[in-house]
Amino acid sequence: MYGLINKAVEGLVRSKFGDSAWDRIRARAGLPDEPFISMEQYDDKSTYDLVAAASAELGAPAEAILREFGRYWTVYTAEAGYSELLRGAGKSLPEFLRNLNQMHTRVKLVFPHLAPPSFAVSEETATSLTLHYYSHRAGLAPLVEGLIDGLGERFGVAVESRTERIESSNGQAAHDCFHLSWKPRVGTSA
């Protein structure tokens, strides 16, 4: 993964729990006390180690850490200079989700070694859809749940989600499905 991910993990921890919590998590993960470089590639293990260290240090399940990171990522990327890219991906939750693969294709222009997940949308109605998530990285479905939460906030909708793991069968790769439904948040006109 690129350093941008680890920088965002650091930003989340520092903003919610303080600098000393970050120092303890970084040390517990066995990572040096030096800044992450956004454009540099880091072994996926570094990120998984950060999540495990945060889980141990904060006394929260790794799934909760990943979900909170997903929410945070939707804000962090906009503030880190990618707001135009995010705006170009869609003006509504379903449009944005349908365009995730195209957005990742554009991101690969900046991060050429990016190995993003892929997504597909099915069973779409005016207020629901199923999002299929395919990744070679294990255990990140809670992060996607957090991204969905954050995107719901971005687009002013309250999202309900049910996650289902689909195992390989009939030529279909194993993946996670997120069955989503939404309605405008109270006090919004979305």
Residues 91-184: name the CATH superfamily: H-NOX domain (3.90.1520.10)
Q: What is the rounded distance in angstroms from the CA atom of residue 173 to the CA atom of residue 141? A: 15
The answer to whether 79 and 7 have CB atoms below 8 angstroms apart is: no
pLDDT tens track, the chain, 190 positions: 999 999 999 999 999 999 999 999 999 999 999 999 999 999 999 999 999 999 999 999 999 999 999 999 998 888 888 888 899 999 999 999 999 999 999 999 989 999 999 999 999 999 999 999 999 999 999 999 999 999 999 999 999 999 999 988 777 789 999 999 999 987 655 5
Phi, psi (deg, nearest 5) at residue 155:
-100, 5
Residue 178 near residue 94 (C-beta atoms within 8 A): no
pLDDT tens across 155-174, in order?
999 999 999 999 887 777 89
Domain boundaries, the chain: 3-60, 91-184
20-47 pLDDT, tens digit per residue, is: 999 999 999 999 999 999 999 999 999 9
